[in-house]
A and B are shown apart, each in its own frame.
Chain A
Amino acid sequence: MKFLRDTWLVYTRQLLLVWRTPARLVIGFLQPIAYLLLFAPLLKNALASAGARTYADAYRIYVPGLLVVLVLLSGFFAGFQLLGELRSGVIERSRVTPVSRTALILGRAFSEVTTLMGQAVVITIVALPFGLTVEIGWVLLAYVMLALMALMACALSYAMAMLIPSPAALGPLINSVSQPLSLLSGVLLPLTLAPGWLVTIAEWNPIYWTTNGTRALFTGNPGDTSVWLGMLIVVALAALTVTWATRMFARQVR
């Protein structure tokens, strides 16, 4: 009970801060929107071999990938903010109170996830006039999958920030994790276009399954293997990374 209440306290405070610094929110949007407007239109032809015959088809393949990139990359950068807050004493001030240590980190992660999901919804809506058509029920399920991916990315980033508490060293580490993960998952273009050996490698990448799952939900194929497999994988990974991050945090801050 206390833990939930404390998490709620931290969560609402973090959201308030996001709300009061709209600039950060807008910058988070700009890149995906630019991709959506300037890059996606090229895709109708490019994605023909992946089964895209219309713009709607192209957007159904592209938008979910874009959302996966958004939640993963932004999520991976959450660790930097945590480091900043550890340094500035904001967290220290909470640590002298009896507030739950796990709540301090979970409330932050949930607030990041909420912000990212807000951005994801806006991007989906912006894509609608371009011909994206979706089935609301399956898209909601896709958002659940995206939210879990965001949580996983945040938690992983927090854990890495605890491991390497220097922003200068953290950047390269995060890049070296996020680059292969996203390249080998076919976030921008589906790997149906890729040679066989690349797909074989990608099948070992959990993000490959969650990306395909999200895409299947957007294109209205909820029966696809990648949906249930991706969901299973992302639930397990989120649980694992959150446990790791809270452990590391509790050890670091006592």
Chain B
Amino acid sequence: MIEVKGLRKSFTLGKRRKTRTVEAVRGVDLSVAEGEIFGFLGPNGAGKTTTARILCTLLEPDDGHAVIAGADLRKDPAAVRTKVGYVPQGGTTTDEVTAREELVLQARMYGMHKTEAVQRTEEALASFELTEFADRQCRTYSGGQRRRVDIAMGIIHRPKVLFLDEPTTGLDPQSRAHLWDEVRRLRDAGMTVFLTTHYLEEADALCDRIAIIDHGEIVALGTPTELKHGVAGDVVTVGLNGDGPRAAELLTGRDYVHNLELGDDGLRLYVDDGATAMPQIMRALDGGDIHFDTVELHRPSLDDVFLIKTGRSLRDK
């Protein structure tokens, strides 16, 4: 449904003399199947929005090719527009108008006649549970309600592919769960959903497949389970009281520790086999006279995948 090859985009900032080039997207390749929820996971500034905007025809790529729902992005952007829906990161509802007015306008911008636009609006309002306040000005809506209006606008023309840029940022857990259900419902109705997020839970729970993007490059791609299994072995976390740096020094270079990450409240150790590594770790710490509070064994999470691939944690933001 979406085929992307070698996508690149850089921005030039600053005035004549002091120009600086930001390479926002640096050769992205990906392929999204019909009817899947594809997650684009990455930290701030990774290039998620830029990629989504390119694929929705809003930005021209510097290089690369993409075919979306059979339409070539560069040769026929007009065809792409009729096949994709886009819900931008910030949302775009206008305070002074009602949800109904927004939806009718959006439908008409897609070229629908008035009667058809009104009817589609009615359907969209009902399916996103917006009918109740459809005639109130958008300024009176909650964050979750606004977001639902945004998404309803994005699908008013029944696109084959929907791009959602950080759909749940700033929502409370309940609205987020509600929105996830909406997105799943769209997928079950046959829509392909491309969503960006910097929430690990969201990528894990909602997405069928994930690409992890960092500094404009995809560093990992697969189903959440594949990605987690791709991290060899187990994770051992050790809760330490301020002795972190000393413990890290002590454990660095031991053959049963592949990788080690020092956090605020302790250490995260990547090991082949947790059952044999745990006693060794405890013995080493005892030997170094380091007091520890807890030692726990985990299966790797998406954050661990991110950490291994980029050397940074996504969570500490």
Q: Which of A1-58 contact B (CB under 8 A)?
A: 2, 6, 9, 13, 16-17, 20-21
B193 proximal to A (CB < 8 A): no
B90 A95 Cβ-Cβ under 8 A: no
B96 proximal to A (CB < 8 A): yes
Q: Which of B255-283 contact A (CB under 8 A)?
A: none
A13 B57 Cβ-Cβ under 8 A: no
Number of chain B residues whose Cβ lies closer than 8 Å to a Cβ of chain A: 29
Given the complex, which residues of B lie within 8 Å of A88, measured CB to CB?
A: 90, 92
Q: How far is the CB of A175 from chain B (nearest CB, A)?
A: 21
User: A9-B109, A13-B105 are known contacts. Are A96 and B57 too (CB-CB below 8 A)?
Assistant: yes
**CA A88 to CA B88, docked complex, whole Å:** 10
Q: How far is the CB of B225 from chain A (nearest CB, A)?
A: 33
Given the complex, which residues of A lie within 8 Å of B109, measured CB to CB?
A: 6, 9, 94, 97-99
Given the complex, which residues of A lie within 8 Å of B111, measured CB to CB?
A: 2, 97-98
Given the complex, which residues of A lie within 8 Å of B81, measured CB to CB?
A: 96-98
A97 B106 Cβ-Cβ under 8 A: yes
Q: Which of B18-75 contact A (CB under 8 A)?
A: 56-60
B110 A92 Cβ-Cβ under 8 A: no
Q: How far is the CB of B56 from chain A (nearest CB, A)?
A: 5
B108 A9 Cβ-Cβ under 8 A: yes
User: A88-B92, A89-B92, A96-B85 are known contacts. Are A254 and B105 too (CB-CB below 8 A)?
Assistant: no
Among residues of B, the one whose C-beta sits closest to the C-beta of A18 is B96
Q: How far is the CB of B101 from chain A (nearest CB, A)?
A: 7
User: Could you mark each residue 141-178 of chain A with 1 if its beta carbon is under 8 Å from any beta carbon of chain B, else 0?
Assistant: 00000000000000000000000000000000000000
User: A16-B101, A17-B97 are known contacts. Are A96 and B78 too (CB-CB below 8 A)?
Assistant: no
Q: How far is the CB of A34 from chain B (nearest CB, A)?
A: 27
User: Could you mark each residue 214-250 of chain B with 1 if its beta carbon is under 8 Å from any beta carbon of chain A, else 0?
Assistant: 0000000000000000000000000000000000000
User: A9-B105, A13-B105 are known contacts. Are A96 and B84 too (CB-CB below 8 A)?
Assistant: yes
B124 proximal to A (CB < 8 A): no
B252 proximal to A (CB < 8 A): no
Given the complex, which residues of B lie within 8 Å of A13, measured CB to CB?
A: 97, 105
B92 A98 Cβ-Cβ under 8 A: no
A128 proximal to B (CB < 8 A): no
B58 A92 Cβ-Cβ under 8 A: yes
Given the complex, which residues of A lie within 8 Å of B110, measured CB to CB?
A: 97-99
Given the complex, which residues of A lie within 8 Å of B97, measured CB to CB?
A: 13, 16-17, 20
Among residues of A, the one whose C-beta sits closest to the C-beta of B89 is A89
A89 B88 Cβ-Cβ under 8 A: yes
A21 B88 Cβ-Cβ under 8 A: no
| Most chain B CB neighbours (cut-off 10 Å) among A16, A89, A98 | A98
Q: How far is the CB of A121 from chain B (nearest CB, A)?
A: 24
**CA A93 to CA B144, docked complex, whole Å:** 19
Q: How far is the CB of B142 from chain A (nearest CB, A)?
A: 19
Q: How far is the CB of B134 from chain A (nearest CB, A)?
A: 16
Interface residues on A, range: 20 to 34
B58 A95 Cβ-Cβ under 8 A: yes
A90 proximal to B (CB < 8 A): yes
User: Could you mark each residue 106-141 of chain A with 1 if its beta carbon is under 8 Å from any beta carbon of chain B, else 0?
Assistant: 000000000000000000000000000000000000
**CA A78 to CA B57, docked complex, whole Å:** 27
Among residues of A, the one whose C-beta sits closest to the C-beta of B60 is A254
**CA A254 to CA B85, docked complex, whole Å:** 17
B153 proximal to A (CB < 8 A): yes
User: Could you mark each residue 79-110 of chain B with 1 if its beta carbon is under 8 Å from any beta carbon of chain A, else 0?
Assistant: 00110111010111010110001000110111
B96 A17 Cβ-Cβ under 8 A: yes
Among residues of B, the one whose C-beta sits closest to the C-beta of A19 is B96
Among residues of B, the one whose C-beta sits closest to the C-beta of A90 is B92
A98 B90 Cβ-Cβ under 8 A: no
Given the complex, which residues of B lie within 8 Å of A93, measured CB to CB?
A: 86, 88, 92, 106, 153
Contact for B56 among A2, A16, A20, A96, CB less than 8 A:
A96
Given the complex, which residues of B lie within 8 Å of A20, measured CB to CB?
A: 96-97, 137
Given the complex, which residues of A lie within 8 Å of B57, measured CB to CB?
A: 95-96, 254
**CA A123 to CA B58, docked complex, whole Å:** 42
Given the complex, which residues of A lie within 8 Å of B101, measured CB to CB?
A: 16
User: A6-B109, A9-B105 are known contacts. Are A90 and B78 too (CB-CB below 8 A)?
Assistant: no
**CA A91 to CA B71, docked complex, whole Å:** 23
Q: How far is the CB of A94 from chain B (nearest CB, A)?
A: 6
Given the complex, which residues of A lie within 8 Å of B137, measured CB to CB?
A: 20
Q: How far is the CB of B108 from chain A (nearest CB, A)?
A: 6
**CA A94 to CA B108, docked complex, whole Å:** 10
A17 B94 Cβ-Cβ under 8 A: yes
**CA A198 to CA B59, docked complex, whole Å:** 49
A-B contact pairs, 8 of them (CB 8 A): A17-B96, A17-B97, A89-B88, A90-B92, A90-B94, A96-B84, A99-B109, A254-B58
| Apart from the given pairs A95-B58, A97-B81, 7 other A-B contacts in the complex at a CB distance below 8 Å | A6-B109, A16-B97, A16-B101, A94-B109, A98-B81, A98-B110, A254-B60
Binding site for B on A (CB under 8 A): 2, 6, 9, 13, 16-17, 20-21, 88-90, 92-99, 254
Binding site for A on B (CB under 8 A): 56-60, 77-78, 81-82, 84-86, 88, 90-92, 94, 96-97, 101, 105-106, 108-111, 137, 153, 157
